[in-house]
Amino acid sequence: MRAAERAEAERLFARFQAAGALPVDADILLPADTLLDLYGEDIRARAYVTSDPLEGEMMLRPDFTVPVVQMHMAHGAEPARYTYLGEVFRRQDHLGARAREYLQVGYEVFARDTPEDADAEVFALFAEVLAPLRLRAATGDIGILMAAVHGLTTSERRRAALLRHIWRPRRFRALVDRFGGRRPQPESRARLIEMLAGTPADDLIAAAGPAIGLREAAEVAARATALIEDAATPLLSAAEVDILEDVLTLRDTAPHALGHLRDVAVDLPSIAPAVDRFARRLDALSRRGIDVGSLDFEASHGRTTLEYYDGFVFSFHVEGRADLPPVASGGRYDALTRVLGQGRSIPAVGGVIRPGLVAALTEGRA
């Protein structure tokens, strides 16, 4: 089985090199601080973390994208295409069939011109190499949802909270319901706000006694001020909540989804540029031979993956096999290059394939 997985990985690796990608590698052990800074403590639930006496916290690589972006931003040429082959490691929170360690083959494109063409290039290449498996392709666009949040009539603090939790659907839903008045505040939070409104935060901190924990008094006071300001923020209008719900639940063929989003943009103009990018992407996909008329589009697609995607997202699935992970997935991550680029940035898109799953499906073992 491992031999078949390795053979398939080498085949894909060679195909991506033939498409113009430069082969690269990344360390298996990565500094944990970078990933923790990017994703917060949530990443610990999905990665293996250890401690090195000299290097500090280290993490078995959960994927290749972050180290490849770091490498490119440090000394990569432009434009650039990269491919890689190696093991990745993902913790699982329950017993099941999903692997904790498996091979991954990837293809990444860094290019400033016509990002939609790069999106189409990556998707079409994956569709070509996976065509014998007759998989179902699903696409989406995190950028449209982000643009919808940016267009809401609310405080910058609330917009930031929603953007931070886009990749946590339940938490995002709870925030939308609370900001729209459809879910009451937790009783404990309401009592705290009432207390803060009647007594200055500094007085409450002083009366509480010696500090316990790592937070400074100034941090606690700032949080108290934020709670009071948030409580005074007007609710989202029912119309805006309905529009956001409409975008979140949109699922249709790509052309129908595009038409629907153009209608939504009349009432929520902030999404118009992202919708135009969606239209240009469909044109680019069509030019590369993709039947966009039957291509599935889900506006919420990609919200449970690693949190660097901010535009086009896609995945390839075995129809009717919800027990299996995606055979391939990917998307656009422009913001990640800005975060890791120390003042520089470049549009980037890529994807990964699980060669072990490809081999198992080819041989009828999955």
AA identity, residue 121: E
Q: Which of 75-79, 227-231, 294-298 has the lowest mean pLDDT?
A: 227-231
Tokens of 267: 């009432």
Concatenated DSSP letters for 345-360? ---EEEEEE-HHHHHH
Cα separation, 196 vs 202, in Å, equals 10
pLDDT tens by residue, 147-197:
999 999 999 999 999 998 998 889 999 999 999 988 777 776 667 666 666
Mean pLDDT of 62-73: 92
Q: Where are the domains of the chain?
A: 184-234
Residue 146 pLDDT: 96
For residues 246 and 316, give the distance between their C-alpha atoms in angstroms, rounded to a whole number.
25
| DSSP H helical ranges for the chain | 2-18, 32-39, 65-75, 115-130, 142-150, 156-164, 169-179, 187-198, 201-207, 217-231, 238-249, 254-267, 272-287, 334-340, 355-362
Query: Can you give the pLDDT at residue 308?
Result: 85
Name the nearest CA neighbour of 66 among 100, 106, 95: 106
Decide: residue 216, CB within 10 A, 0-12 exposed, 13-18 middle, 19+ buried: exposed
DSSP string, 259-300: HHHHHHHHH-GGGHHHHHHHHHHHHHHHHTT--GGG-EEETT
**pTM of the full structure:** 0.88
User: pLDDT at position 37, please?
Assistant: 77
Question: Do the Cβ atoms of 102 and 60 come closer than 8 Å?
Answer: no
The Cα–Cα gap between 4 and 228 comes to: 60
